[in-house]
Amino acid sequence: MTDYDAYLNGVAWKAKRGAAFGRWGRRCYLCGLVSRLEMHHVTYSRFGFESVNDLRPLCRRCHRKGAYSISAIERDRHALFWEQVAIWITDRIATAAWAVVNRLLSAILFVCRTVSNAGLRRESRQRSR
């Protein structure tokens, strides 16, 4: 077992890992996934003496993408945030558009029924004369 492995299996690391989850939450810092989380060292310069600010929880997929510096994590997180905002807005626009289409169709059907009923009434009046 290497020193690295021994440290990661030790009590001190587990305490720091727990503190980092407390600071950053139990979800991937990049994509928000809540399963298969790993703790990413942003820097190894203070390895063994790292603070919670040196650590970020990442899901296995995001962690496997490669080494991230703080600026790269923040850049990717920022991009993912705006991507999620765009998806949310698109969904709301689509929902609103369907609501408008449904209202228009209802109005058109109402007009068609009204015109059709008016025509039937006119024909029945003419037949009764």
Give the integer Cα–Cα distance in Å for 102 and 110. 12
- What pLDDT does residue 128 have? 62
Q: Is 62 exposed, middle or buried (0-12, 13-18, 19+ CB in 10 A)?
A: buried
**Mean pLDDT of successive 10-residue segments in the chain (129 residues)?**
83 91 90 89 84 89 72 73 81 84 86 73 62
- What pLDDT does residue 121 have? 61
